[in-house]
Amino acid sequence: MKASKAKTVYVCQSCGTQSPRWMGKCPDCGQWNTMVEERVEKPREIGSAKRHDGAEPLLLGDIKAGEEDRFVTKIGELDRVLGGGIVPGSVVLVGGDPGIGKSTLVLQMLRQVSELRGKALYVSGEESPSQIKMRAQRLGVKAENLYVLAETSLDEILRAADELQPQAIVVDSVQTVYTSELPSAPGSVGQVREVSGRLMLHAKRTGIPTFLIGHVTKDGAIAGPRVLEHIVDTVLYFEGDRGHAFRILRAVKNRFGSTNEIGVFEMKESGLAEVANPSEMFLAERPKDATGSVVVSSLEGSRPILAELQALVASSKLAMPRRTCIGVDYNRVSLLIAVLEKRVGMHLMGMDVFVNVVGGLKIDEPAVDLGVIAAVASSFREKPIPPDMVVMGEVGLAGEVRAISQAEARLKDAAKLGFTRCILPAVNVEKIEKSAALKKMELLGVRTVEEAMERLF
């Protein structure tokens, strides 16, 4: 016998056309793969005498901001990315490649919740309780107050949560959870959306902060749905290179804080450790006096991070010389190579150019332009850049060096690590007050790429 299911329809996500059956192409707007299963909601009776539990308009002045309620996990890197701690009733989506350490991160967070606040619930649809236990042992998590539920039915999860009344819930992963109200398979767009919508309502109603783990597709978006990103309050991405130990937690959307902040962790034998001084880590293996290597400063949120940028220029046997960029934007590097050819007269035409940011870091900030130019020039001329020098500045097509933001913060960071010389835009030099922290730093202001070349070599 067939169990009775709630009524569902397929709705085109592009134009809203409804159909009782799934179709590959929307008959109305002609878009492909836009039909997503949705539950049919009974329409509310309009104008019915009975008031439903809707909210009243409030005076803005009467509303409390609720900042004081944030729960500080004491994992500093996580707290900062969240905007200063976990907000009650918030729903946070954590995305990332498989094996990057999402489960480890949330388990360490739940440890803090369970030790500092009270009960915490870890729902896993991917791993058995014994697997979770093994990871917890590896992390040295004490079992007190931390509950594990291996379940994929949404109704069961919500029931367990209501019974337990935890201080935080983690659902690992949202793609494994299903609601029986939709016949489609777990992980389908319809299911993921329905499940996260219901979890969101639950979080808002109970005030329990809820963390959803989401898988990431090949092209880097959280699997299933962009829509998921619209539903939740905060979207965090956990990134990193498998070949390297460090991991970066980045806020892509945050209703309760800045999206510019990043948190840096290092994956160790016993879990994720915070990296308080990322610059030190990224520069740890820097070769001294090697050509094509330069230290640049990249601003990640409010935090400057020093990184090593390398370039290798070699004569090419190809008709179309290769330009390979890892960690920096390809188009930007092409543009800067053109500037070097035209404004400095460097013949890079028959040369392969490779540019790489060491450590798997990705930099997308114009302030590293001058660094790219310096690295390419250093490799081309086979002259090393002094090891105690940092290079920063944006470069325009006319070969002019433009001002960068927060030069002072970047300089202080560099000074802390023992750098004593910095090439930076002249405009910035004029504005900088020589504080005690910058006493030993020699500031070499430049206006054009040619001037920078003179200062460098």
Residues that bind Mg ion (CB under 5 A): 103
**Please, which residue, 103 or 175, has the CB nearer to Mg ion?**
103
Work out what residue 100 binds among Mg ion, ligand TYD, none; the CB cut-off runs from 5 to 8 Å by kind: ligand TYD
Tokens of 73: 């996990």
**How buried is residue 24: exposed, middle or buried, by Cβ count under 10 Å (0-12/13-18/19+)?**
exposed
Work out what residue 125 binds among ligand TYD, Mg ion, none; the CB cut-off runs from 5 to 8 Å by kind: none
End-to-end C-alpha distance for the chain, whole angstroms = 83
For 116, phi and psi rounded to 5 degrees? -100, -20
**Please, which residue, 136 or 306, has the CB nearer to ligand TYD?**
136
**Please, which residue, 125 or 257, has the CB nearer to Mg ion?**
125
**Please, which residue, 110 or 376, has the CB nearer to ligand TYD?**
110
User: What is 4-20 written as a DSSP string?
Assistant: P---EEEEETTT--EES
What strands, in cross-sheet order, belong to the sheet with 262-268? 146-150, 120-124, 168-172, 210-215, 91-96, 234-240, 246-254, 262-268, 271-274
Task: Give the nearest distance from C-beta 298 to Mg ion in angstroms.
Answer: 29
Task: Give the nearest distance from C-beta 218 to Mg ion in angstroms.
Answer: 18
The answer to whether 29 touches 17, Cβ cutoff 8 Å, is: yes
Task: Give the nearest distance from C-beta 421 to Mg ion in angstroms.
Answer: 45
Work out what residue 101 binds among ligand TYD, Mg ion, none; the CB cut-off runs from 5 to 8 Å by kind: ligand TYD
Q: Specify the residue for token string 């910095």.
A: 422
How many Å apart are CA 291 and CA 6, to the nearest integer?
Answer: 67
Work out what residue 443 binds among ligand TYD, Mg ion, none; the CB cut-off runs from 5 to 8 Å by kind: none
**Please, which residue, 269 or 285, has the CB nearer to ligand TYD?**
269
Task: Give the nearest distance from C-beta 117 to ligand TYD in angstroms.
Answer: 22
Alpha carbon of 112 to those of 75, 119, 267: distances in Å?
8, 10, 18
Sorted by sequence, the CB contacts under 8 Å of residue 354 that are 6+ apart come out as: 311, 312, 313, 314, 322, 323, 324, 325
Task: Give the nearest distance from C-beta 132 to ligand TYD in angstroms.
Answer: 10
Q: Specify the residue for token string 């034998």.
A: 269
How many Å apart are CA 78 and CA 94, to the nearest integer?
Answer: 12
Work out what residue 403 binds among ligand TYD, Mg ion, none; the CB cut-off runs from 5 to 8 Å by kind: none
Work out what residue 189 binds among Mg ion, ligand TYD, none; the CB cut-off runs from 5 to 8 Å by kind: none
Work out what residue 378 binds among Mg ion, ligand TYD, none; the CB cut-off runs from 5 to 8 Å by kind: none
With CB atoms as reference, the residue minimizing the distance to Mg ion is 103
**Please, which residue, 73 or 103, has the CB nearer to Mg ion?**
103
How many Å apart are CA 221 and CA 225, to the nearest integer?
Answer: 8
Task: Give the nearest distance from C-beta 126 to Mg ion in angstroms.
Answer: 6
Tokens of 301: 């949120």
**Please, which residue, 135 or 323, has the CB nearer to ligand TYD?**
135
Cα-to-chain-centroid distance, residue 307:
18
**Please, which residue, 98 or 350, has the CB nearer to ligand TYD?**
98
Sorted by sequence, the CB contacts under 8 Å of residue 353 that are 6+ apart come out as: 311, 312, 313, 321, 322, 323, 324, 333, 337, 376
Task: Give the nearest distance from C-beta 99 to ligand TYD in angstroms.
Answer: 5
Work out what residue 104 binds among Mg ion, ligand TYD, none; the CB cut-off runs from 5 to 8 Å by kind: ligand TYD
CA dihedral 364, 367, 370, 376 (to 10 degrees): -20
Task: Give the nearest distance from C-beta 266 to Mg ion in angstroms.
Answer: 18
Task: Give the nearest distance from C-beta 191 to ligand TYD in angstroms.
Answer: 20
* Interacting residues toward ligand TYD by CB under 6 A: 96, 98-104, 135, 138-139, 267, 269-271
**Please, which residue, 104 or 234, has the CB nearer to ligand TYD?**
104
